Each structure stands twice: as C-alpha cells, then as structure tokens.
Structure 1
C-alpha cells in the first residue's frame, strides 16, 4: 500500500513538472524577485531563472536574460551578470542595446572593464537598428510618381482620383513607423500586412487601440512580438485569415484616444499616412480596442467617424470624457460591444440600460455578454468567439460614403464635420429647437474590488453622460438634387458635393428649417478637388465642390 502511495505521489510530481514550461517558471522567478525583501529573496529568484534556462534552453527570451542580469548585478555576482548581458547583447532579435544602455539598473557593473566593451557595442547596435528602421520606413512609403497636379480637366481629375494607385510591392509584412506628435514628441505605430500583400488590391484595415493609456509610454518604434501575440493573438489569427491590415498605434497618459483631447488627432492622421504607402479600401477602415482603447473607439464614433466604416470595443466604457456624449451620432455608423459580467470598468446593469437606449433610437448597435469573465477578457481563450463575430461583421460591413441622411451633434467645432456636412459652426446663444434633446440614464450599481481582491457591488448615483458645454445639432437629407436641413444652435455650415449624390447638370436646392437658401447649379472645382484629396487621401468620398451656407 505504501509503495502504491509513493508511486502515485511520484507520478503526480512528474505530471506537475510536465505542466510547467519556460513561461511559467520565468513568471514564478519574476514574482519571487518582486516579493524579495533581502538578498536571500534575490538569490532564490536568480536560481529560479537559471533553472528555467537549464531546463528550456531553446525557450530563453530577452526578458529572462535581462531580469537575471539585473539580479546578478544587484547580488554582485559579476560573472553571471556579464554572462547574461553578453547573451542579451549578442542576439540581434533581442535588441540587447536597450538593456545595456539602461545604466541605472547596472550601477554595480559600470566600473568593470567588461562594461565599457558592452556599452560601445550597444551604441553601435542602436545606431544600426535606427538606420534599418529608417530604410524600412522609406521603403514603406515608396510609391510610383503621379501626375495629379498636371491634370487641368475637372472630370478627368475626378476619374483619376477614383482610380489612383501609385502603390508598390512591399518587402516586409511588418513595419514600425514613427509618428510626429509635435516638434519635440514622437510615438509610433506598427503595421502588419496580409502575407501576400498585392498593391493592385484594396484591403480592409483595422486599428487596435490599447488600454491602460495612463500606464503606457510613447515609443518611437515597435516590435512584432509586442503586438501580434498574447492578448492580440486572435486579431492576428483572423486578420490573416481575412486579408485584413492591422495597425497598432501607441499612446500614453497625455496623448491618447480617450482623455485629454491632445492626442485625439492621431488615428485619423495615422490613417492618412498609411494611405500614402499601401492600398487601403477607404470604405473598409475600422477601429477596435480594449478598455481605454474601447472607450477610444466609441469616442471616434461619437466625434470623428467620417473616415471609418464601423467600430468595436472589448469591455467598453461608452462615454466621451472630453465633452458631451451625443449618442444619436451612432446612427451614422455602428458599434459592437463585447462585455463581461465581472467588469469593474463598466457594470453589466449599465450595459443593459445602454443597450435599451440604443434600441430605442434604432441604432446599429449590438452587445455580446460573456458571463464568468473579468475586465481582461481578451486574455482568455474563450474570447476567440468574440473575434469571430468581429471579423465576420468587418468582412461584410462597408461604409456608405454618401449617406442619404445625416444626424450630427457636437459641442467642439473641431468635430463639426460628418461625411458631406463640413465646417459646422456653433451658435449657442440661440435656444435649442424643440427636437434637440439630451439622452441620458442613471447608473445605480457599480462593481469594484475590495481589499481582499473580491468583486463586490456598490451603490452609486451617476449619470451615464456629462454635458459640460452647449451643443449644436444638424439633421440633413437629400433626394433628387434637393437638400433638406434642420438645424439647432448652428450659424453656418457647408455641404460637400459629389456627382454620386446629385445631377450636376441640374440646379441644387437647399432648404434650411423649411426656407430655401440655395437654388443654383454646382460646377466642378478643380482646385478644391485636388486640395481635398491631398488632405483626406480618400478615393471613394471625393468632393468636387461645396456649398457654403450662413444662417
């Protein structure tokens, strides 16, 4: 009997060992390092890293070597510290120079002659890395010459823009592109192309906006393994299945897609940059995100949706944090939210009420609830079903560049543009029209973690949306060369004109609040067409002229 028990325990031990891998061992080592209060704790962590290196030599990664070298340096085990640092520095894919040049973490090593040799190599490797980045970036933006400026016939220019294709084949599937925020600050975005990218074909594109914007830092380059695996593995899987371009921008506390407004310009501007280098289907550009990134996706839907076809969010907080949340703006596009019932970020009862509000205004909105999962839902394999839904919608969804009806509300003139209505200016001194009303609801329950990391429900008294400023609203539609516009707290705006919308051989009539304000023919405007295309890079939503209207 004792023999059977001993054998069972031995087999159990072997089974437990078999379940371990490099990832779990290195994670335990890292947690041991975090918890260490003295030298013995650091020694234990180093031993655990070394055990992982010994058992899984083919799985050793940059993070493991980096942490082991830092611990060895703190313990003044210089031989081991330089051994791991040298391995880190000699493997090109690790970008070991990043770690070596972090001198503050290796203060015990800088007096050693071996340190200087490592530092010289790191400086050289860094220079080579940035030179290669520049070469790759130049190759990404390389394209055939075009003759748009030389075209003097308006109709020919229009057709040339519609069929504009200066794109070339790409040498790589992955590109890290730097992005200038202002004269002193840069960030980056990472692009993953379909395997057999063909410059003659137009491709769908989806932006993924990361969460935790307050805890992220801007970086002027990105790597594939930062973006394509782990939580984003299903984006990669289904993008490759459906020939979709993936884009991963990087934000931080100040420059992001949620709050403050300083970085909100980034995604539309990054899209314009991308369209310089690769063949994007202008009617199939989408935004998705998780947590703060999902809130960002929702915010672009509310504030600046023109360039995009649809919006998605995982664990979304559906609110604009920089002004009013004008939920009827969703009627210009669509949103799919993947929520969970154990989410501290936005509670399930509030999602229920938000869905009711969306159904009440007949919005193109869907929510899929996944029970038994916390805020970090994309971490779990069970989230794959949500990505299947997302990509099925994305494949079948297309922007209508010339919608017959528009409804748009805003409280910041930076966002006074939607499809064929542009440059809307507010007149908040006037009273609102009777049909111009706020939509809102109360939130009375919220989930949060207590000191024991248990999820509890607390009673709150919140309104779903804030309205810190007065807003203006415009409702517009067209049919048979007639535009009928209703406005509230608006003093001026423009109507952009396309031959896909009207018959340019006939007069165009514009009624504002029932009164005729325009009754003339509209001609092609070559200069405006060229300027607008250079600014928007949109080959589908092409404006040939505009009608300026002041009330």
Structure 2
C-alpha cells in the first residue's frame, strides 16, 4: 500500500480503530478480507523498515571507556567521547519503552548534512492536548514538521538545531501525571547515545499543555536542559507545588496572547512582576489580537525568531556556583551538583522558607454566544498540596555553604572544574561544619554516572553524602 498525501501508510486506513465504522458497508465483501490480509502484511513490512532505520540510527563506532583507566585520563576520555557516525536519513521514528506493556515513538529531525564530528543544539517540542492525545506507534515527518510547527522547522534549519517531537496521552504525559514525566529526560539520554549533541544546548519548548510541560521540567527536573520556552503557557505544576524560585537555576521565555482562555493576560502580567521581584531570567512577549492557537497564524513567526536567537546564545552552565531548589517529592530532589536530596517532613519550616503565590481574579471564558469575555474568579495561581523542603547552596575556593529547611540528607557531586582536588573540601550546612577532607577521583562512580546520563560536560568524579 502507498502512503496518502499526508504521509500516513495506506494500511492504517484499513486497520485503525475507526475502520469498522468508516467502511461498515464493505465488511461483508470478501474483497475486504483480502484487503485486510494485505494491510497486515504491509504493516509488518512497514515496522520492519522502521526497526531497521532505528537500528541504523543508534549504530555507533566501538569505543572502550574502562573504570581501570587512570582517573584523569578517563575524565578526558569521557569529555572528548565521540563514537558517532553519519546518518542515512534526515528523519527518524524512534521507539520509547514506557513500561512492559506500553510503547511510544518520537520523531527526530536532523539538520541537513548532519556531521557527527560537530556538536549540535537540540530542541524538544511538547505538543498540547495531552488529555485527548494518543501515544504514537510510529512517527512521520509530515505530522510534525509542517502546520503549526512550520516555523520550528524553518528556524531549526537556519540554525542547525536538531528537532525532537515526543508524543503523550492522558496517562503518560508531561503535565497531569508523573507516570510519564520520565519520558523527556529518557529521550535526551537516548539521543546522546546516537547523536553528537551539545550537552549545554538542550532545550524544551511547547504549546498549551506542552508549554505547561516545559514549565514543569523547569520547576522539577531542569538538570539536562539549558532553557525553556512556551507558547500560550499555563505556568503551573499540576502534580504538586509550583516553586517559582526554582527558575533561578535556568530561564523561561513565554509567548502569550491577550485572547487566551488557557491563561489570562492579567495573570501573566502579575507573574512577570513576581519573576522580576526575584530577579529571574524570565520574559513574557505579548501578542495582541490572537487566541490560544497563536502558532497557527503567520504573525507568530517573530516569536520563533526570538526563541532561536535566545537558544543560540543561552548555553547551560554545568557547574553553577549557586543553586536554589525547592521540592515536595523525593523523586525530584536533584539539581546539577546537588543530588539525592531527601525531605524531612517532620522538621520545622524555617521562617525564610516561604511559598510565593498570587491571586487570579479574572479569567477569559467563552459565553453561550461563543464570545470570549472576562469572568470574575477567586483562586490562587499555584497549589501546594504537600510539605516541601528547600535548599540554597553555593561554593567558592573549595568551600560549600548550604542552608536547608525540612531537608534530611543530601549529596554533593564533585567535578574537578568546581574544586581543587589537591586541597581539602569543606562543607558547611546551616552554619555547621559537616565535611573537611580531600576528594579523590572515583573512576567507577565517574563511569557509572556517564553511562546513566551520557553527559560529556557535566562529569562527576566523586560524591559527598551528608545526613543533616
């Protein structure tokens, strides 16, 4: 079977869930049975080719990184690790295992003339409507590169950026459920096994529910990423508390419109003031006269110019000298060189451990005449359903200074680009000295961490585990 004009394989129209209803008048015709048999064969052949393409995508040169290598040499080997090969295609459908019974697929679009010896920025786009979407078995270029995403395609080509398009559904997504939140970091790790990605230039963008997902990774799991973008964002974490000060570790650019039912312009204005008050790297660009589906319009193109200009000039700092982090779920007690932070929910919250919030008093709603009107509401911008812990930490001249509230334990991962390994490292927590020793390379720890993250920039050589 051939593909249709939109690129979908012909067998999908015979085998998909709507076929029995769409072609109910043909179901008793023996020719329909033959068509179904041929469609099943075509489907099997199609997925065989997808698997062959995926195998080629992940094929790399054989290289050996061994823990028994002299530690400083192993560090340099990881830093310069490049087993990457040329790719036969520009577009790939790659499978992603969700669990033992569920799989999805994401689409990878490479720059033209991809060169495996060169490092590339990568941008992951998160789609909206997660409650009504389905996990894709396969991906096709026509679905992702045109339409609302046409400007991503255009400016990614101009700037030689790798584009990645994951899929989500009601159960496994990046907004309403933590069951699928692992998907995006997992995709990044998979991509780094196959492509020469610049670890300090991995970004997330999205529209609507996807923009809220982008904001959620900023709030909960920003370590692998350099920056975050959103079109028509609802800036809120739906699975727990929204700890605004976490943005201080990265940045966010929002593209909002004045006719958006998803999040009102007055709330965006208040959020911008809150972000300015804490000196966050946050910008909101307002486009007047446009509804929630702003990316559909040609007038949205200037926003993409802003996005890609920022993307090329905003690399991640892999070893920031200061970290501010708040969380209410131990799964997200990790940020750059702070890891495995555990909550102490029985501890007394410190006075300075305050939650930032604001009230939303007006929202845009569609009335019975299908007109968008302001309605009065009385609600808080953010929810805080669980007790949180907060930590602020910094380092200078081999000394780490940490303040905590409702934290029971934590780990500090060490890089030779942060400290002098020939001198003792001191760690002060809440003004008390907890550690005062030299740190050595641990080759096995270094190698295990690299295997886990595939990060060639943020390389950890040892760890300090501390119980408060």
Normalising by structure 1, we get a TM-score of 0.83
Larger radius of gyration: 1
Tell me the residue number matched to 2:14. 100
Change (3 A) 1:108 1:327: same
d(CA) in 2 for partners of 1:399 and 1:456? 41
- Report the Cα distance in structure 1 between the residues aligned to 2:425 and 2:5, rounded to whole angstroms: 66
Asked if structure 2 preserves the Cα contact closer than 8 Å seen for 1:179 and 1:220, the reply is no
* Structure showing the higher helix proportion among its residues: 1
1: distance between equivalents of 2:45 and 2:6?
11
Structure 1 residue 506: Cα displacement: 0.3
Compared with structure 1, are the counterparts of its residues 259 and 112 closer, same or farther at alpha carbon in structure 2 (3 Å cutoff)? same
Q: 1:306-339, CA deviations, whole angstroms, 9 ceiling, x for partnerless residues? A: 0000000000000001000000000000000000
Quick one: higher RCO (CA 8 Å, sep 6+), 1 or 2?
2
Task: Report the equivalent of 1:462.
Answer: 379
Aligned residue pairs: how many? 465
Tell me how far 1:93 sits from its aligned partner: 4.7
Mapped partners of 1:521, 1:163: distance in 2: 26
More strand, by proportion: 2
Q: Deviations over 1:147-195 (max 9, x none)?
A: 1136421111101000000000000000000111000011110000000
Evaluate the alpha carbon distance shift between residue 255 and residue 201 of structure 1 in structure 2; reply closer, same or farther with a 3 A threshold: same
* Match status 1:382 vs 2:296: no
Compute the displacement of 1:145 (Å). Answer: 0.8
Residues 497, 545 of structure 1: 8 Å contact kept: yes
SS in 2 for 1:275: helix
Task: Give 1:461 deviation, angstroms.
Answer: 0.2
Corresponding position of 1:13: none
Given the superposition, is the C-alpha separation of residues 165 and 314 from structure 1 closer, same or farther in structure 2, using an over 3 Å criterion? Answer: same
- C-alpha distance in structure 1 between counterparts of 2:409 and 2:448, whole Å: 22
How far apart in 2 are the matches of 1:261 and 1:360? Answer: 30
Query: Which deviates the most, 202-211 or 98-107?
Result: 98-107
- Is the CA contact (8 Å cut-off) linking 1:187 and 1:220 kept in structure 2? yes
2:241 corresponds to: 324
SS at match of 1:181: strand
Q: Does 1:116 align with 2:60?
A: no
CA contact (8 A) 2:66 2:74 kept: no
Alignment counterpart, residue 439 of structure 1, candidates 356, 379, 386: 356
Aligned-residue offset at 1:94: 4.1
Partner of 2:282: 365
- CA deviations 1:216-240 (Å, max 9, x no partner) are 0112101101000000000000000
Q: TM-score, normalised by structure 2?
A: 0.98
Question: What aligned pairs does 1:284-433 form with structure 2 within 5 A after superposition?
Answer: 284-433=201-350
Q: Hey, what's the Cα distance between the residues in 1 that align with 2:157 and 2:4? A: 32
Alignment partner, residue 399 of structure 2: 482
Unaligned 5+ runs, structure 1:
1-85
Q: Is the 8 A contact 2:67 2:443 kept in 1?
A: no
Q: Residues 89, 274 of structure 1: CA spacing in aligned structure 2 closer, same or farther, 3 A cutoff?
A: closer
| Cα offset, 1:113, TM superposition | 3.1
Is this contact kept in 2: 1:89–1:122, CA < 8 A?
Answer: no
The 10-residue stretch of structure 1 (197-206 or 108-117) with the greater mean CA deviation from structure 2: 108-117
